[in-house]
Copies of this chain bind each other. A is one copy, B any other.
Amino acid sequence: MGTSIDTLQELLFDLAGVLPADTAPLFAMTTMVSLETNETYIREGENSRRLAFIEQGVIRTYTIKENGDEATLLLRWEGQFIASHDTIINRQPSRFIYRALEPVKLLQIDYDVLEEILKTHPEYEPLRNFFLMKMLAESLKMLESFVTQSPEERYRELLSNRFDLVNRVPDKYIASMLGITPVSLSRIRKRMYTKRKTII
């Protein structure tokens, strides 16, 4: 009886009116997974089609650039879904690595298994829909920030919206997610906390 299951049962009831007692076929196919700090969840080139709900901890999704540098695409934490999007959407080996930045607990299901369940239990379909829409909304929000804001503005917004996250994650990953180098982020922080009048 994990809190992830409780949360998802509640979500499923709110979305589709499915009673918790009727979710057994779904949760029977989920697995609770624990990851240590720095443990890799999904490797580069891996073909597993994993979808998971994070109960605790932070996972970093990153790729290795041609020059060997890492580029962080996403940071996901408790209460969010995480998915191997290359394998699930594009049906190709994952170009991304998913790694725990802290001890992580997540509730996992194989996407192929989920699809099978959905064939016989279409009442769970709203959950998949919710997950896709949520991911899409978040991606578009981030995309919007790249075309409307400067790196400094993106960092300021991250600070005001996700202060907890910024404090839990090393700056170099934050910088990478903002599309800049750690050196630049350090300079932005310096500008913010010295020159400027408005701290946040």
The residues of A with any CB-CB pair to B shorter than 8 Å are: 63, 65, 71-73, 85, 89-90, 122, 125, 128-129, 132-133, 135-137, 139-140, 142-144, 146-148, 176-177, 179
Contact = CB atoms under 8 A, between A and B. Distances in A.
A90 B144 CA distance: 14
B85 A140 contact: yes
Contact of A132 (B65, B133, B142, B148): B133
Contact of A179 (B129, B135, B139, B147): B147
Nearest to A66: B148
Contact of A89 (B71, B133, B144): B133
A75 to B, nearest CB: 12
Copies of this polypeptide in the complex? 2
A56 B180 CA distance: 37
B137 A90 contact: yes
A26 to B, nearest CB: 17
B85 A136 contact: yes
A15 to B, nearest CB: 12
A80 to B, nearest CB: 15
B72 A147 contact: yes
Nearest to A178: B147
B147 A71 contact: yes
Given A122-B122, A139-B143, 7 more contacts: A63-B144, A89-B137, A89-B140, A125-B125, A136-B136, A143-B146, A147-B177
Nearest to A95: B144
